[in-house]
Amino acid sequence: MVFSSHVFLFLFLPLFLAVYYLAPERRRSLVIVAGSYLFYAWWRVDFLLLFVAVTVFNWGIGLAIARHGARTAGAKRWMTFGVAADLAVLGYFKYANFGVDSFNTLITGFGMEPFALAQVILPIGISFYTFESISYVVDVYRGDCKPTRSPLDFAAFVALFPHLIAGPVFRYKDLDDQLRARTHTVDKFAEGSLRFMQGFIKKVIVADSIAPLVDQGFALSDPTTADAWLAALAYTAQLYFDFSGYSDMAIGLALMMGFRFIENFNQPYSAQSITEFWRRWHISLSNWLRDYLYIPLGGNRLGTARTYLNLFLTMLLGGLWHGANFTFLLWGAWHGGWLAVERALGVDPVARRFMVWRWAPTFLIVVLGWVMFRAASVGAAMDLYRAMFAFDGLGLSELYAGQISRLQSWTLLLAFAVIAWQGLKPYLLPPPPLPLPHRGDGAAVAWSGYRPLLMSLLLPLFVLAVLKLSAQSYSPFLYFQF
């Protein structure tokens, strides 16, 4: 089940919210767990058992660590065991096929018979709920959060369906207080409804309209320079509106349930350095990689050369987290390398004003990285790179041009107009006269004074998006594959 589906919109969500609000407050965590497990089992019931097993295991590990005390030798053994087991589960399901295929490629080159392994199916959301489980175990060991004695609260934290499949990536301490007590108000529910509609529009009207243009462009066997750049730019827009749209919907759904999630995007394409980009893109994952990879590797405490290496390794492993493919490894290495270069050059990651000579190369680096991220193979990515810099004319090929509809063209232009306005607005306009409770892509939505105006604008677009969804067979989110 996905948020952008009729089953979710007209069956699951209204029934869940009705049961949730009719239930006594002390039973609402149970409703969250039951509803979230149903949400997950809609895809495959058998992998729900794995999900439950991972949850119970990590809850037990947290209690075992607590019995020994934070940062003790016994606690460290339990923490190491818990993290190793979580990584083993993630490694098997996510990287077994990749490892066997790579091994077979190596041995067949020496004339040996390939090793046979049944295809391992990747459970949806496993990267996200495994990382959240690891953060809980590590935080309990460090003493950064208290272990919960309630298996129901921990299960609700891991299973909470708005962020179950594609984040944001949370720590238990981010939601601990809200799991035990949270407010439910009409204003918060209305704010969540607006935020959900905003994300739904981003996903269905913008990202899904651009998707065919991306698929056709990356499938061309002999693209021209114009073909290649158009495909790369289209994917740059599609991925942003798809993933930030999911995050908006997740934040909105959480607000409807009384939870307030952290922001996951903050106009990333306005970044004026790669360091700033990673403070604005998938913020929850960036923070996770910093706190549970970069700092444990030594951060910037072990000298200049080690700092560069740690930046590179963190992004390399971050790329591998996205998928079992050399394309993701190279994409991570690309960003890790630029982070190290910026650190070496002393680039200020916080831009005080908009400088096009800093923004343009940053945006170019990001776009070039997305080509490798999207390509089916390293070879396919290299073919597109060659086309991008062949400069063989400004025109699109007849094949590609014939596949592009007027709707796709105008939607892509609209997408970049929105991106440009969002990025330049902080530099062109004074701050709003009233404080906003949020910053990020949904900042305006949180301004209750403008709620009637926003509703009048968003509601017709939301209805249009629902009608458009009716004409589509399926609308998965891009980050579901990770």
CA angle (335, 338, 341) in 5-degree steps: 155
Any idea which residues carry the catalytic annotation? 322
**Per-residue pLDDT at 323:** 86
CB atoms within 10 A of CB 418: 15
**Per-residue pLDDT at 448:** 52
Q: Mean pLDDT over residues 198-213, rounded?
A: 95
| Contacts for 385 with CB less than 8 Å, ≥ 6 apart | 228, 368, 371
DSSP 434-451: S--S--STTTGGG-GGGH
pLDDT digits (tens, 9 = 90+) for 65-118: 999 999 999 999 999 999 999 999 999 998 888 777 777 777 777 777 777 776
pLDDT-based confidence at 446, cuts 50/70/90? very low
Tokens matching residue 12:
């699951």
**Per-residue pLDDT at 435:** 42
Mean per-residue pLDDT over the chain, rounded: 89
**Per-residue pLDDT at 340:** 96
